[in-house]
């Protein structure tokens, strides 16, 4: 947390290599720690000019927008991150957080279905799809999505837990208890 000293080192490094994306990323990190998120975003935008792999930078920009409570902008950059790296599950969770905060359940469902078409064994996507269906009270589709999450990863505790909640809503209590007991077996 010696931010002033870190900035001095970055100034020196930038004189040696003015197109090194990591210098921009670290400079943005310093601005972020100083709660200067707009400046961090501007620096990260500059880093994009020098980067060959933009996924991480898109994710960092998305995080900065989250700090500013600009969820639509954050969502845009997390989606760009997922375009660049389809298996960045942290970006997938973050984009779903934005959809949820913006109360865009139908848009989230549409996006997840497209995502699953390209990555059908992604337990995270199926789990998130189930949560979206649960939010709009389409319990039958939620149950199906959680089943697919479990098929994709039969040790995915969250899917069993959420499936139990759906079964409760459907008044299928015995099955709900079975799913809750499975969560305890997997992770006590």
Predicted confidence at residue 11, as pLDDT, reads: 63
Q: Mean pLDDT over all residues of the chain?
A: 92
Is the pLDDT at 22 greater than 70? The verdict is: yes
Predicted confidence at residue 182, as pLDDT, reads: 93
Distance between CA atoms of residues 71 and 97, nearest Å? 9
Q: Is the dihedral of CA 110, 111, 115, 120 positive or negative?
A: negative
Predicted confidence at residue 52, as pLDDT, reads: 86
> Higher confidence at residue 73 or residue 11?
73
Average pLDDT over residues 38-45: 96
pLDDT in tens, 54-108: 999 999 999 999 999 999 999 999 999 999 999 999 999 999 999 999 999 999 9
Is the pLDDT at 15 greater than 80? The verdict is: no
Share of the chain above pLDDT 90, in %: 79
Residue 159 CB coordination number (10 Å): 28
Model pTM score:
0.87
Residue 149 CB coordination number (10 Å): 27
Q: Which two tokens stand for residue 108?
A: 């989230």
Exposure pattern of 22-52 as b/e (b: 16+ CB <10 Å)?
A: ebbbbbbbbbbeeeebebbbebbebbeeebe
């Amino acid at each position: 947390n010696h931010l002033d000293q870190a900035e001095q080192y970055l100034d020196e490094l930038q004189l040696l290599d003015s197109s090194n994306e990591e210098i921009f990323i670290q400079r943005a990190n310093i601005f972020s720690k100083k709660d200067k998120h707009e400046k961090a975003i501007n620096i990260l935008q500059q880093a994009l000019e020098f980067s060959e792999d933009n996924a991480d930078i898109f994710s960092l920009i998305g995080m900065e927008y989250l700090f500013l409570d600009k969820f639509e902008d954050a969502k845009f950059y997390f989606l760009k991150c997922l375009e660049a790296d389809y298996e960045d599950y942290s970006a997938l969770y973050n984009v779903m957080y934005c959809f949820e905060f913006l109360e865009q359940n139908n848009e989230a469902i549409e996006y997840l279905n497209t995502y699953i078409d390209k990555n059908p064994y992604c337990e995270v996507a199926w789990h998130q799809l189930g949560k979206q269906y649960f939010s709009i009270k389409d319990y039958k589709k939620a149950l199906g999505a959680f089943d697919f999450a479990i098929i994709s990863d039969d040790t995915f505790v969250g899917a069993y837990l959420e499936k139990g909640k759906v079964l409760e809503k459907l008044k299928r209590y015995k099955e709900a208890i079975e799913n809750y007991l499975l969560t305890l077996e997997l992770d006590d």
